[in-house]
Amino acid sequence: MPMHDVDLIYKKTAVLYNRGQPHFASCTSLTQTCLNLLNDSAKYRYFGSYAGTPSVKYNIFANDNGVSRPIRPDLYIEDHQELATAQARMIKALGKGAADWDEKTVRLATRVIYTSVMSFACCIDLWKRSSRKTPGTFFEIYFAGLIPCAFSDALLSKHIPLPGVSKAEEDELEEAEETQDDGSSVATDLVIARPKFKSKIVIPLKITTRERIVQPFAHQRILDSAFGKGRYHSFLTCVSETQLDHKTQSVKQVCVPGTVKLFQKHLGQISGLYYCDVPQRYAAADMAECLPVKEIGEIFRDLGQLFNT
Amino acid sequence: MPMHDVDLIYKKTAVLYNRGQPHFASCTSLTQTCLNLLNDSAKYRYFGSYAGTPSVKYNIFANDNGVSRPIRPDLYIEDHQELATAQARMIKALGKGAADWDEKTVRLATRVIYTSVMSFACCIDLWKRSSRKTPGTFFEIYFAGLIPCAFSDALLSKHIPLPGVSKAEEDELEEAEETQDDGSSVATDLVIARPKFKSKIVIPLKITTRERIVQPFAHQRILDSAFGKGRYHSFLTCVSETQLDHKTQSVKQVCVPGTVKLFQKHLGQISGLYYCDVPQRYAAADMAECLPVKEIGEIFRDLGQLFNT
C-alpha cells in the first residue's frame, strides 16, 4: 500500500480545508510525504523535449505501473530538505508583502508551488490513476492555503451569490443542489475578499484548461453583467498544458492562443493568466498585448499591487 | 458482426455530408438498417419511469451486451414501415413550408427525428460502446440533411469567420488547425444562411448538454459582440437529458434551469431551446418567460416564421 500515508494526509487536509480551518501545514506534510514516496519508489528520468525555441526538457517518474505526467526538471525540486527551505523562504516573503517581489522570489514561489502540486499529481499517476480529479482538487486546496500567508485578513469562498435572486429561485436552488445547478450564484474555485477593498478576486484553478477554458471568461462576463465592471477580477491560474507523446518520445504543449484572444476580446475580460510551466506559445508578443501570460509566482506580486492601489 | 451494415452506411453517409453532397436518403437508409437490427437482435422492454407529474415511462433495448439508453415509447416509432410513412409525410410537410404547421405535424417531425437519432444511438450502445461520440455526430449529419428539405436555398456551414482577423492571426489559424484553436472563427455544429436574409441561424446540436451548455450562450455573446446584435440567432437543439438509474430502476432527467436562466440573462441571449424529449422541469412556467423550451418539431415552424418576416 504505497499510497497509504499520502491518502491519509490528503483526506485530513481536505477535511480541514472544507471546514475553513488552517490547512497549509497539512499541505506541506502531504507534499513531503509525496516527495519521499517518489524518491523511494519511482525512477526520475529524462523523457523527451518540447520542440520549441528554445526546446524545453521534460522528465517523468516511472515505475512498474507506468509513467507520470511530464515534469520540468528546472522547476521541480527533488530534494525534500531543499523544498522545505524554499517553502519557508516563500512563506516569509509572502508575509512581508509580495507587491515588490523581485524575479528571484517570483521564481522561488513558482518552483515551490509546481513541486508541491506535481509531486502529489505524480503519486496519483503512478499509484492511484483512478483518482483523476484529485490533483486538481489538491491544487485548489494548496493555493487556498497560501492566500492567508499573503493576506491575513482575506475571506475565502467558492461561490458568488448573484443579486436579485427571487424567493422562487432560491427554492429552486435548494432543489437544484442535487444537480449542481448554480443559477443563483457563480461557482468557481476560489474567491478572495478583503474587508477594506470593494473589488473581489476570482481565481479559477486548473491543472490544465483544455475545453474548459471558456468557463472563466464566461463567468467574468456574468459577473460584469450582474455587478457592473470592475467589481470582480478573474485571475485564471494553471499548472501546465503538457501532454506526453509516447510515439515521438516528446512533449506537446497544447495551446489555444487564438481562442484565448477571441474570448478576451468578445466574451469577458479576465485580469490575468498564470502558469507554473508557461506554455511557450502563450509567451508570444501578440498574446502579451491582449492578455499577458505569466508564471504563477507573479500572481502574488500582481495581487499585492492590486490591493495596494 | 451485427454492426457491419450499420457501420458501412454510416461511413458512406458521413463522407457525403463532409463533401457537402445530398445525404438525407443515406440517413434514411441507415435509420432503417438500425431499426431492423434492433428489432431482430435486441429486446425492447419497459425499464422504469421518470417520477415527475405526470410520470413518464421509458423503455430500453437490451441484449447480452447490456442495455441501451432510455427511450420514450410514446415518441419512438418501432415499425420500419410506419417510420418510412411518417418520414415521407414529414419531408412533404417540410417542402410545403413549416411556418403554419399544426401541432400534429410538429409531433410527427419530433417522432421521426427522435426515432432516427435514437435507433442509431441504441445500436452504438449495444454493439459499439467505444464509439461514444458517433451518435452526436450522426445527429448533426441527420439534422443538416433535413434543412434543405425545408429551405432549398439554404447554405450550410459549421464555421463563422470573424471580422477583422489580421494576416498574422490567419497564419496562426493554420498552425492552430492541429489543436482545434478556433480563434479566427466560431466553430459550431450548423450554420444556416439564406441568400435573401441578412440574419443567419446557428444551431448547436447536442444529444445532451451536460456541462457543455455554457458553449451556445458564450458563442451567442461572441457573435453579438463581433457582428452586433440580431445578425446571428442561436437555436440550441438537443435530444434529451435522461440518465438510467439502475439502483432505483428509474430514469432521471438532468436539468439546470437556474443555470440556463443565468446564462440567458447575463451571458448571451439565445433564440430557442428544443428537445426531442423535453425535460419536464424545462417545461415550467418560469422557464417559458426567460427561454421557452419546445419540442424539436417546432424548430421548423419557428425557422419558417423567422424567415417569413
Over residues B222-238, the pLDDT tens digits come to 999 999 999 999 999 99
Q: Tell me how far apart the alpha carbons of residues A11 and A33 are, in angstroms, rounded to a whole number.
A: 13
**Structural element, H or E, at residue B48:** strand B43-50
Q: Is the pLDDT of residue A21 over 90?
A: yes
Angstrom CA distances, A131 to A35, A119, A124, A263, stand at 18, 15, 7, 31
pLDDT bin (cut points 50, 70, 90) of residue B165 is low
pLDDT of B97: 95
Q: Within an 8 Å CB–CB cutoff, is residue A15 touching chain B?
A: no
Tell if the CB–CB gap between B256 and A179 is shorter than 8 Å.
yes
User: Averaged over A42-56, what is the pLDDT?
Assistant: 96
Q: Tell me how far apart the alpha carbons of residues B143 and B153 are, in angstroms, rounded to a whole number.
A: 16
Q: Closest Cα of chain A to B212: distance in Å?
A: 9
Q: Is the pLDDT of residue A9 over 90?
A: yes
Q: Is the pLDDT of residue B172 over 80?
A: no
B286: nearest CB among A162, A168, A222: A168
pLDDT of A177: 40
pLDDT of A254: 94
Q: Tell me how far apart the alpha carbons of residues B258 and B260 are, in angstroms, rounded to a whole number.
A: 5
pLDDT of A170: 45
Q: Is the pLDDT of residue B179 over 90?
A: no
User: Averaged over A27-37, what is the pLDDT?
Assistant: 97
**Structural element, H or E, at residue B158:** strand B155-161
Mean pLDDT of all residues belonging to chain A: 93
pLDDT of A166: 54
C-alpha cell at A9: 494526509
| Nearest-by-CA chain A residue for B224 | A266
Q: Is the pLDDT of residue A68 over 90?
A: yes
B67: DSSP letter:
E
Q: Higher model confidence: residue B181 or residue B188?
A: B188
Tell if the CB–CB gap between B179 and A255 is shorter than 8 Å.
yes
Q: Which of the residues A160, A181, A206, A252 would you substitute to probe the B interface, choosing the one with the greatest number of B C-beta atoms within 10 Å?
A: A181
pLDDT, tens only, B279-290: 999 988 889 999
Q: Higher model confidence: residue B61 or residue A1?
A: B61
pLDDT of A165: 59
pLDDT of B251: 97
Q: Is the pLDDT of residue B201 over 80?
A: yes
pLDDT of A273: 97
User: Averaged over B141-163, what is the pLDDT?
Assistant: 95
pLDDT of A157: 96
pLDDT, tens only, B53-65: 999 999 999 999 9
pLDDT of A173: 44
Q: Closest Cα of chain B to A30: distance in Å?
A: 32
SS3 track for chain A: CCCHHHHHHHHHHHHHHHCCCCCHHHHHHHHHHHHHHHHHHCEEEEEEEECCCCCEEEEEEEECCEECCCECCCCCCCCHHHHHHHHHHHHHHHHCCCCCCCHHHHHHHHHHHHHHHHHHHHHHHHHCCCCCCHHHHHHHHHHHHHHHHHCCCCEEEEEEECCCCCHHHHHHHHHHHHHCCCCCEEEEEEEEECCCCCCEEECCEECCCHHHHHHHHHHHHHHHHHHCCCCEEEEEEECCCEEEECCCCEEEECCCHHHHHHHHHHCCCCCEEEECCCCHHHHCHHHHHHCCEEECCHHHHHHHHHHHC
Q: Tell me how far apart the alpha carbons of residues A112 and A145 are, in angstroms, rounded to a whole number.
A: 13
Q: Is the pLDDT of residue A128 over 80?
A: yes
Q: Is the pLDDT of residue B177 over 50?
A: no
pLDDT, tens only, A153-179: 999 999 999 987 554 454 444 444 444
pLDDT of B309: 73
pLDDT bin (cut points 50, 70, 90) of residue B180 is low
pLDDT of A210: 85
Q: DSSP 3-state assignment of B235?
A: strand
pLDDT, tens only, A210-225: 888 999 999 999 999 9
Percent of chain A topping pLDDT 90: 88
User: Averaged over B184-201, what is the pLDDT?
Assistant: 94
CA nearest neighbour of B116 among B149, B155, B145, B154: B145
Q: Is the pLDDT of residue A69 over 60?
A: yes
pLDDT, tens only, A252-296: 999 999 999 999 999 999 999 999 999 999 988 889 999 999 999
Mean pLDDT of all residues belonging to chain B: 93
Q: Within an 8 Å CB–CB cutoff, is residue A290 touching chain B?
A: no
Q: Within an 8 Å CB–CB cutoff, is residue B261 touching chain A?
A: yes
Q: Within an 8 Å CB–CB cutoff, is residue B282 touching chain A?
A: no
Q: Is the pLDDT of residue A237 over 60?
A: yes
Tell if the CB–CB gap between B254 and A169 is shorter than 8 Å.
no
User: Averaged over A229-239, what is the pLDDT?
Assistant: 97
Q: Is the pLDDT of residue B175 over 60?
A: no
pLDDT of A235: 98
CA nearest neighbour of A179 among B246, B254, B238: B254
Residues of B in contact with A225 (CB under 8 A): 265-267
B260, B263, B264, B270: CA torsion to nearest 10: -90
Q: Is the pLDDT of residue A123 over 80?
A: yes
Q: Is the pLDDT of residue A180 over 70?
A: no
C-alpha cell at A183: 443559477
Q: Within an 8 Å CB–CB cutoff, is residue B47 touching chain A?
A: no
Percent of chain B topping pLDDT 90: 88
- Strands A242-245 and A250-253, how do they pair? antiparallel
pLDDT bin (cut points 50, 70, 90) of residue B102 is very high
User: Averaged over B100-126, what is the pLDDT?
Assistant: 98
Tell if the CB–CB gap between B258 and A184 is shorter than 8 Å.
yes
